[in-house]
Amino acid sequence: MYWQIKNRIMTGGFPAVEIMAPKLMVRFASRIGGSSEPPFDALNLGSGTGDDEKSVLANRKAFLDSCGIAREKLALCGQIHSDKIAVVDAGGFFPRTDGLITTSPGVALGINSADCFPIIIYSPPERVLAALHAGREGARQGIIGAAFEIMTDRFGVDPAATVAMTGPGICGKCYRVDEDIARNFPEETIISIDGFPHLDLRTFCEMELTDAGVSKQSIIHSNVCTCCDSKRCFSYRRDGGITGRHWTIAMIRDR
Ligand SMILES: [Zn+2]
């Protein structure tokens, strides 16, 4: 992942994606460049976090402007830690979902996160785009597989032709979990540190992607841990729940 600053707003992008899928735009908002006060400093995009809502709205506008996206073109999900996905052809709010799929150029799919993994999947031949919120619960329930079911059944996508990205999220070393949670995940995704299980959710997401038929070399990881990178990222775990949220935006370009 590379970082760039435009109009004071720092965002991250995936250079490999720009080569593999030039019609796709993906931007990840860092915490740098907004107007929120600590502990939401500075580019908090999450509403209902305890931050001043006026700052959140100003930050959202600044971030969307820096990406060249009009507010009415943005589609967001309610993010209820489920495997539910909506197919959309316009901006709006889709409350009981954790994922969005579109074939409409210019419609920006947004995922809100601060440790959970934003997952972007794109099939260049049919121009089908999916954006998913893959937290521990949604990932375990199979939101990645659910996205591929819709993409293949409804749009004729061949998973082997897709590219997938995992955005910034919490790394295995930072993500200690209880034994009963660890038991729900495959052995290769659990790391033991000082005798305590830690979940490598990014590896789990990669396994879900390859199980669905994505080739390993078409999976691009940001390799940024929201918990390790306190300079650029908010982390729910690190900051004890009182923190900001990032948005990841994905859009099929309309020109
Ligand atoms: Zn970490």
Per-residue model confidence as pLDDT tens for the chain (255 residues): 999 999 999 999 999 988 899 999 999 999 999 999 999 999 999 999 999 999 999 999 999 999 999 999 999 999 999 999 999 999 999 999 999 999 999 999 999 999 999 999 999 999 999 999 999 999 999 999 999 999 999 999 999 999 999 999 999 999 999 999 999 999 999 999 999 999 999 999 999 999 999 999 999 999 999 999 999 999 999 999 999 999 999 999 987
Q: What is the pLDDT of residue 255?
A: 76
Q: What is the pLDDT of residue 2?
A: 94
Do residues 57 and 93 touch, judged by C-beta distance below 8 A?
Answer: no
Whole-number Å distance, alpha carbon 235 to ligand 1 midpoint, is: 10
**Terminal CA-CA length for the chain:** 24
Contacts of 211 (CB under 8 A, 6+ apart): 145
Whole-number Å distance, alpha carbon 192 to ligand 1 midpoint, is: 14
Sheet with 128-134: strands ordered across: 85-87, 99-102, 128-134, 117-123, 163-166, 219-221
Whole-number Å distance, alpha carbon 136 to ligand 1 midpoint, is: 15
Whole-number Å distance, alpha carbon 68 to ligand 1 midpoint, is: 31
Whole-number Å distance, alpha carbon 226 to ligand 1 midpoint, is: 7
Whole-number Å distance, alpha carbon 224 to ligand 1 midpoint, is: 8
Whole-number Å distance, alpha carbon 169 to ligand 1 midpoint, is: 8
Question: Which residue in 254, 240, 215 sits closest to 25, CA to CA?
Answer: 254
Domain boundaries along the sequence of the chain: 2-252
What's the CATH number of domain 2-252, 1.10.1840.10, 3.30.43.10, 3.60.140.10, 3.40.50.1370?
A: 3.60.140.10
Angstrom distance (rounded) from CA 49 to CA 6: 25
Whole-number Å distance, alpha carbon 158 to ligand 1 midpoint, is: 33
Angstrom distance (rounded) from CA 129 to CA 35: 31
Whole-number Å distance, alpha carbon 171 to ligand 1 midpoint, is: 4
Q: What is the pLDDT of residue 213?
A: 98
Q: What is the pLDDT of residue 201?
A: 98
